[in-house]
Chains A and B, each alone.
Chain A
């Protein structure tokens, strides 16, 4: 079974530039997550999709971050304009559960490491 695919693995940009990350979840997984992981910290949820609808985006800085999941499969996360404090690893995860009961694990991709100079 193929895992969660993310690209690019690494990206270096200057502040005020824009960047986009792509995620392909495990086939058939209805729920997709984007987490931000700053060095030395645990992952922080940015946005959660069920199919192509947003379940939770309460911690997404909507003035600069946007995410979409067209057709309920692949997802992109965009940052525009980037700030220095956006330097982090952006992790995509997927799971097979839907609804309000967690029934299993989240499967994570290897992440996209962003450095903002």
Chain B
């Protein structure tokens, strides 16, 4: 299930389940979005990206969906594995004359064997 932790929303799933992590972004002018995975003690690691002229993009075991109408982004992880346990951040490119990525607050994914 999904719950709100001390700082981060947490999603707990069983190994093999599909996971869906959601993100609401704020700027309707944002034109590029990236999902990052951050393991404890490490820097964020790129997972998948999507441009605003697309509504879906698939990678290996991951799919990103973009709904510009409601400014919503989701990351779907198929057949979740214990190694997927981490904090997941969405980031949006707020193109205001130059490009810079702004990160959301993150969701912790906990995968139980």
Number of contacting residues on A, CB 8 A? 29
Task: Pick out which of these stretches binds chain A: B43-51, B53-61, B73-81.
Answer: B43-51
Contacting residues, chain A, for B72 (C-beta < 8 A): none
Question: In chain A, what residue has the closest Cβ to B49?
Answer: A105
Q: Are B99 and A102 in contact (CB under 8 A)?
A: yes
Contacting residues, chain A, for B99 (C-beta < 8 A): 97, 99-102
**Interface of chain A: mostly helix, strand, loop or mixed:** loop
Task: Pick out which of these stretches binds chain B: A14-22, A39-47, A65-73.
Answer: A39-47
Q: Is B6 an interface residue (CB 8 A)?
A: yes
Known contacts A40-B7, A48-B100, A55-B98; A108 and B45 CB within 8 A of each other: yes
Cβ < 8 Å to A, chain B residues 93-113 = 93, 95, 97-106
Q: CA of A111 to CA of B46 in the docked complex: distance in angstroms?
A: 16
Q: Is B8 an interface residue (CB 8 A)?
A: yes
Q: Is B64 an interface residue (CB 8 A)?
A: no
Nearest 8 pairs between A and B by C-beta? A40-B7, A108-B43, A42-B103, A105-B46, A102-B99, A102-B93, A102-B32, A43-B103
Can you give 14 A-B contacts (C-beta < 8 A)?
A4-B43, A40-B6, A40-B7, A41-B7, A43-B44, A45-B100, A45-B102, A48-B100, A56-B98, A105-B34, A105-B46, A106-B101, A108-B44, A108-B45
